[in-house]
Amino acid sequence: MTPLAKREKLQQIRIKMRFYIGFFFFLVSGFVFSQKTLFKGADLHIGNGQIIENGFLGIDGDRIVLVKKSLISSINEDNWDTIIEVDGSQIYPAFVNTNNTLGLTEIDAVRATRDFDDVGLFNPHLRSQIAFNAESKVGETVRTNGVMITQATPRGGIISGSSSVMSLFAWNWEDATVLADDGIHVNWPSSTVGGGWWAEPKPKSRNKDYVAQKEKLSSFFNLSRAYFDAKKPKFDQRLEAMKKCFLGNQRVYIHANELQQIHDIIDFVTEMKFPFPVLVGGYDAHLVGRKLKDANLPVMLKRMHGLPQLEGEATDLPYRSATLLQEQGILFCLQGSGDMEAMNARNLPFIAGTSMAYGLTEEQAVQSISLSPCKIMGIDKDYGSLEIEKKATFFVSRGNALDMMTNKVTMIYFDGKSESTSNFQEQLYLKYKAKYSE
């Protein structure tokens, strides 16, 4: 056998060995990672509006298998591989960041890092999933505050494209995907023009082009509906992307805030018979609560850390908006889209904390950033609450996670796997603290 033939033979043997070793570890991985772990003594914020003080939380592999109050329950500790004492701590389900460009932008001032807005007005075929940056440094700082899932959302145009629900613990966008193409995003035309708070704002007035802009949007949806109903239509990439909205496999997220817009959107979604419409923004949603509830139209509520839209409104109206929707029984979640929204995603728990100061109970506030967004996006079967059979995706905090003074995350689990609670900002802080304390 020639030296070249020998080398090829050895290479083939190495490849086979790698395959068999990899296959072996694949077979035993179920045993390696299916460890039964019990968390003992923490207060469990279930995420559905309930709390269990001094509870047991048990996980087996990537699923939750036990949720009990420890004072009235007994367990056999021999049934658990690991028992972790977390007395005095708080356990929360993963917080969920919705309607955000996190993962699609890194530095707002650097155009090359912004990948959320494309040319054109009607772009339902554009997908944020494949543009998601799983190695984002911004995402690293967000997840250490308990925000572990994000809805990567496109911007621009009349129809921006399709968002996807992504994990902040992944190697790449494929691993990060929790739910691909969860819905398309529609920017409803504004019914007014003018207004604002800076310099010399013009008073708000009626948008003279509003009717024409509505008709343009409706025409595209009617065309999409006709394409959906046709037996063998001529292939069109944009219209093909709209099919899932009528099938019920995708949400239709409609962005709007004004009262006139919301009235028209309710009529629109009723006429189009979308299975899962969602109102995004909804500043005036509390004024038409009955209609929203009848239309089964949930709300991703506009960032509450802002000024009132009209000069005569109460100054605390944005802060009370969540409570006003809660009192009317409307399904809603909190979100923080707006200026510097990607990096501000870390403040999502504190937005919920603000809603507590203006009427929500603590558990209602937790629900508004955990189970409620998961229900709205359609991932509540696996995520959003600490309930049996759901994914073991939660974090442990030394104190109240909705208060920036006490939010101190000590443990993070995503799909049953322990994740780091550190980020590069903390590492730099410790590095320079050590240097200058010498």
Domain coordinates in residue numbering, the chain: 36-94+384-438, 95-383
More confident of the two residues 374 and 9: 374
Does the pLDDT of residue 2 top 90, yes or no?
Answer: no
pLDDT at 364: 97
Q: Which fold has domain 36-94+384-438?
A: Urease, subunit C; domain 1 (2.30.40)
CA distance 411 to 431: 22
Does the pLDDT of residue 247 top 70, yes or no?
Answer: yes
pLDDT at 260: 94
Residue bearing tokens 């929707």: 325
Exposed e or buried b per residue across 90-119, where buried means at least 16 C-beta atoms within 10 angstroms of its C-beta: bbbbbbbbbbbbbbbbbeeeeeeebbbbee
Mean pLDDT of 184-188: 96
pLDDT at 163: 96
More confident of the two residues 113 and 129: 129
CA distance 150 to 37: 26
Tell me the pLDDT of the chain averaged across its residues. 89
pLDDT at 29: 47
Tell me the pLDDT band of 251, cut-offs 50, 70 and 90: very high
- For 131-161, write each residue's pLDDT tens digit: 999 999 999 999 999 999 999 999 999 999 9
How much is the pTM?
Answer: 0.88
Does the pLDDT of residue 345 top 60, yes or no?
Answer: yes
pLDDT at 30: 46
Tell me the pLDDT band of 176, cut-offs 50, 70 and 90: very high
pLDDT at 192: 86
For residue 398, give every residue at least 6 positions away whose Cβ sits within 8 Å of its Cβ, in sequence order, or none.
88, 89, 90, 406, 408, 410
Residue pair 178/170 in contact by the 8 Å Cβ criterion: no
Residue pair 304/355 in contact by the 8 Å Cβ criterion: yes
Does the pLDDT of residue 425 top 70, yes or no?
Answer: yes
- For 261-302, write each residue's pLDDT tens digit: 999 999 999 999 999 999 999 999 999 999 999 999 999 999
Q: What does the angle CA 431 – CA 434 – CA 438 come to, to the nearest 5 degrees?
A: 145
pLDDT at 206: 87
CATH of the domain spanning 95-383, picked from 3.40.640.10, 1.10.3720.10, 3.40.50.11890, 3.20.20.140: 3.20.20.140
Tell me the pLDDT band of 381, cut-offs 50, 70 and 90: very high
H-type alpha helices, 204-336: 210-229, 237-247, 259-272, 289-294, 317-327
pLDDT at 31: 45
Tell me the pLDDT band of 25, cut-offs 50, 70 and 90: low
Mean pLDDT of 326-347: 93
pLDDT at 159: 95
Does the pLDDT of residue 37 top 50, yes or no?
Answer: yes
Does the pLDDT of residue 199 top 70, yes or no?
Answer: no
Taking alpha carbons only, the member of 136, 182, 138, 139 closest to residue 162 is 182
Residue 166: both structure tokens together: 């992504």
Tell me the pLDDT band of 121, cut-offs 50, 70 and 90: very high
Mean pLDDT of 247-255: 93
pLDDT at 196: 67
Which of 8-17, 46-55, 159-168, 217-226 shows the lowest per-residue confidence on average (mean pLDDT)? 8-17
- For 38-95, write each residue's pLDDT tens digit: 999 999 999 999 999 999 999 999 999 999 988 777 788 888 999 999 999 999 999 9
